[in-house]
Structure formats: C-alpha cells, structure tokens
Amino acid sequence: MDALRKQASKLREQVAKQQQAVIKQFSASGYESSEVMVIDEIEMQTHQQLEKLYRSTRSGRDFQKDLVKAAEAFSAVGYKHIEAGTKLSEDCSKYGVENAHDQILSKAAAIYGEARKHVEKEQEDLNKQLFNQVLEPLRAMMGGSPLEDARHLAQRYSKMRQDAEAQAVEISRRQARVRESPIPENVAKLHAAESRMHELKANMAVLGKEAAAALAAVESQQQRLTFQRLVAMVEGERIYHERVATILGNIEAEIVSDKQRKEAAPPVTPLNHSSEKTKYFLAEATHPFDAASEKELSLAVGDYIVVRKVNPSGWSEGECKGRAGWFPTAYVEKRQRIPTNYTAADVY
C-alpha cells in the first residue's frame, strides 16, 4: 500500500511540473489568461483587471502601429506624387514657351504648369504634417518607457501568480504527505510551503495594485493620444484636398475663360484705305474698354472712333488715335455720318 501511495505521489508531482512547464511556455511573452482562483476572490479580481488592461494596451499599441504604417504609406505615395507633379509642371511650362503660336493650348499648358507648383507645395505640407503630428508622436509612445514599464509589471505579476499556483499544488502535495506520514520532517516542509505561499500572497497584493495603476494610466494616455493623432490625420487630409480642389478649380476657370475670350474676339481685318467705297460713320465711346490683345482697340469715354464695320456678333471695327482694332459695339454711340472719302486722320 505504501508503495502505491509513493508512486501516486510521484505521478502527481510529474503532472504538476508538466503543467507549469506548459504554462510558462505559452505565457512567457505576455500575460497569462487563467480562470483558476489561486488565493481568493480579491486576487482573482485583480488578475482579471490586469488581464483586461494588458489586452487593451496591446490592442491600442497594435492600432497605433496600423496608423503609423498608413501614414508612412501616404508619405511615400506623396513623395512620388511630388516627383511626378514637378516633372509635369516643367513639361507644361516648356510646351507653353516653345509653342506660343498655339495661343489656346500653350496658354492653358503654361497656366497649369505654374499652378502645379502650388499643388506640390500642398503635398509637401501634408507630408510634413503626417511626420510631425502623426508618425513622431505615435512612434514615441509605442517605444516609450511608461508602456513597457507597465506591461513589465503586469508580466511580473503573472509570473508571481504562476509561482503561487505552483505553490498551491506543492502545499496540497505536502498536506497529502503529512496525512500519509505525519512525521516532523513532512510537517516542517508543509509549514515552509505555507510560509512561502503567505509571502507570495503579500507580494502579489502590492504588485497587483502597482501594475493595475500603471496600466490604467498608460491606457488612458494611449487612447487620448491616439485619438488626437487620428483627428490630426483626418484634418490634414481634409485641408489638403480642399486646397488642391480650390487650386484646380481656379485653374480650370482661368483656362476655360481664356479660351472663350479668344474664341469670341473676331479676327483683325485690315482697314481699307483704297478707293473702294465703304460706309464710314463717326462714333463716340460711352464706356471705357481695355484691349486684351493686339486685335482689340482700347477706348476711353469721349474718344471718337471712325467705324468702318459692324459685326452681328456684337463687335465693331474702327480707328481711334492712329490705332485700328475691334471693340464692343455697345460701348459706342453713333454721332454722324461722314463722306466716303473721310479718313481717320480727319477725326483728330
């Protein structure tokens, strides 16, 4: 019978050692998850609180890593965007200079080429904001000592809890030995195991409170900082897209307006100073008009113009002060009819 009892005792010891080895293997890199009550209900609550905080801070750190990876990717794409945009700006400006005869397309290319510089400046500003307001703060917190110190305290508590669980098994074993053989040696070993358990319990109470307070502080700071950095990223992207949209909108309006103005202006037709009979008349400018091209004729209120042609499009052709060109018909009023051989020089 004694032999069977000794064999059973050895078997329990082997099982306990194997259990502890498995626990250490799977929990060495983090906080052990366990539903076993090692000491009492208070300790169990502390254990569950630490487990929750440990998981929360780990999840928060993982999310910070995701934000950092995204910001790094946005920055990398941004630098490629700047490189491609700068090249396009140079090509557009070059085309505008070398193809000035094509007034519509070359002017549009020149306008767009100049505006691209402002677009790339906005991209540079976004990249700087991502680095200063997102990447640097998150990297600093992920590798900061408060987080690592708090997690280290939790891991120490987890290790101490494993020791207490193993010590509880040891006490059970010693108690069985005493029941089997209540000799002084076995009783002394039982008392030593219980004393060790008492020491572990006291240390766990202190360390548990310290670890819980440290993890709670880190969790609060982690969530607050991550929220702020996320808002900064969203705000930076919003401002970037709004400004770029404004720049591109102004470019489009300027290009289209310039094209429409050039297409609306009639071509210059040389004045006929030959003996061909043309019906001239004298007109006075009632509104000022600033010429936008060499084809047009600038007018000041009160100027007299020799009008030789009125176009149905709303433009008229004439001479004023030695210059010839086109002007809006609605900007002048007819004053008198003049003879066919009347020349522009006679007006002034």
Q: How far is the C-alpha of 125 from the C-alpha of 215, rounded, in Å? A: 36
What does the alpha-carbon distance between residue 321 and residue 304 come to, in Å, rounded to a whole number?
8
Record the pTM. Answer: 0.59
Band (pLDDT 50/70/90 cuts) for residue 7 is low
Q: Which of 107, 98, 69, 149 is nearest to 258 (CA)?
A: 107
CA 126 to chain centre: 7
In contact, 327 and 315? CB cutoff 8 Å: yes
| Mean pLDDT, rounded, for 41-58 | 87
pLDDT tens digits, one per residue of 118-139: 999 999 999 999 999 999 999 9
Of the candidates 34, 57, 98, the one whose C-alpha atom is nearest the C-alpha of residue 211 is 57
Which strand (E) or helix (H) includes residue 210?
Answer: helix 184-264
Output DSSP code: residue 273.
-
Q: How many CA atoms lie within 13 A of 241 on its CB side?
A: 6
Is the confidence at residue 348, as pLDDT, over 50?
A: no
- Look at residue 96 and tell me whether its pLDDT is greater than 60: yes
Please, which contacts does 313-319 make with residues 24 or more away whose CB atoms are closer than 8 Å? Answer: 313/264, 313/266, 315/265, 315/266, 316/283, 317/266, 317/268, 317/269, 317/271, 318/283, 318/344, 319/271, 319/344, 319/347
Is the CB of residue 43 less than 8 Å from the CB of residue 204? yes
Give the residue-averaged pLDDT of 163-184: 86
Q: Are 315 and 328 in contact (CB under 8 A)?
A: yes
Say how many C-beta atoms besides its own lie within 10 A of residue 267's C-beta.
Answer: 6
Alpha carbon distance 294, 73 (integer Å): 51
Q: Is the pLDDT of residue 276 over 50?
A: no
Average pLDDT of the residues in 236-243: 95
Give me the pLDDT at residue 169, please: 84
